[in-house]
Structure 1
Amino acid sequence: MSVTPPAVHRFTEPTPVFRGRIKDDPRSGHWVVPRRYRLHVSTACPQGLRVAVTHSLLGVGDTCPLIKLPAVPDCADGGHAALRPLYEAGAHHYPGPALAPVLADDWSGRIVSNHAPDILRDLDRCFGDGRAPLYPCGAEADIEAVERLCTHDIDEAAQRAGQADSGPAERAAALRLLLCALDELERRLDGQDFLTGDQLTAADVTAWATLVQLDTVHRHHLDADAVHRIADHPALWAHARRLTTRPSFGTHLDLDGIARRHRAACRGLEAAGAAVRILDWAAHARGARDSRRA
């Protein structure tokens, strides 16, 4: 199998190169079998955090085990040494970094997928085991709209707004895009508990992981005024706070790991926004861990 490795940027997620799907039909190659598949994630990475939270919400630890990788990749190319055999098995002499998250097939020792959105949907559809679905029928368009907002209009815009080598006009435009996206999420929470209605869905998981990244990583490269404007979305940040107190969310929040990953990969300049904390994530996460032990 010939695979072209993705271009890896220090701040953006790599382009996935394995896009297998889990199906119900045994003729498909990858069909639903308990404990056949295994997830490998780093919760210091936003995509890995989404997968870990989804895995907990669905309660699928017995049917699809989850392995947590180190916060900071241990290979010089930004990959994880533990994943290298899986990448080599899937693409002989694979030249790129062995990146997480990965859904692996224990039967073949190969990767099914390293595309987080597909992994999340397959977990929900194939292994949910009667739990309330995170991708309920009829909510697909709303969930995808929130995912686009979080990926393109929040995460990528925050990166551009904080880049020291961008011009003032470019940074201002990126900040406007970011604030407009936050405004849209704020409007979605007007009069309802969750982003797509009265039920927690994958949209809430995605937005929560995005806000974690925004407050713990991106704000370090923004000025204080920008961070105060970002914080001026009370319903949205209150929603993030409530979710963090849930064990399925807060117990996966590795703030030290996120900080170490950021320091290891980031070459940007720290700005005044670094001193402006929006949420006390640690306190809410401790509450979630105490709740799980009780």
Structure 2
Amino acid sequence: MTDKALILARGLGTRMRKDDGSVTLSEAEARAAATGVKAMIPIDRPFLDYVLSALADAGYRQICLVVAPDHEALRRYYEEESPPQRLSIRFAVQESPRGTADAVAAGETFANGDDVLVVNSDNYYPLDALRELRQRSGSAVALFEQDAMLQESNIAPERIEAFAVGLVDEAGNLVRILEKPDEKTLGELPRPLWLSMNCWRFSPAIFEACRKIQPSPRGEYEITDAVQYCIDRLGVPFQAVRVCRPVLDMTSRADIPAIKERLKGVQVRL
């Protein structure tokens, strides 16, 4: 088992910063949204508190937030205003937004040769997925049933239907992540579809892969490319943990009311 989790919190929050006249936000919510730091959107308390509390409930104790150079608000909150009791929190700086693999690479010193969970700061993952990944050995990925996402997540169906799909072999190992599959390809895949929501357990091999891959066509170092390098070039199997529970996603201002409703009554203990 591992008790280390790396949280990718550097995102620019471009969609969150955009005004949305269809949503009425409180002054505090609008102020936080304007910064683009989705992790600090107040759902009574910062959204990231819920993410961290779920990790603590799942047994993780050492946390590293991958952040931008300008991250004083996050550091001040967790070091001075609301220091956790169940978790230790460190910070790793990703100097420029060069992609998810580059963000993971920033956490290599924190991992220090151990397996590590990697998740997004703007996703609230089900406890079952976090616990299962912690209890596995070696590399693994949580894949989420599309039907459960459509029925129970806050994410719009048209977005869910465009998510990457995990292809799994008969042994239960990931073959590859199929990004933005077209309608014909989706129609040929067996049901149910299992979606990738960037919820991983990585062995130290991931850091070698992050160094070896080339930028994608959009000029970023992608974690899916690093995973494929591990599978194809390093011979690292990725166990597929299939989860029939939804993930909540904090992407834009329109997500705030729905997430507030779904997290109502959820106890937060850091």
Which of the pair has more CA radius of gyration?
1
* Greater share of residues in strand: 2
**Same fold per TM (> 0.5)?**
no
Q: Larger helix proportion, structure 1 or 2?
A: 1
TM-score by length of 2: 0.28
Report the TM-score when normalising by structure 1: 0.27
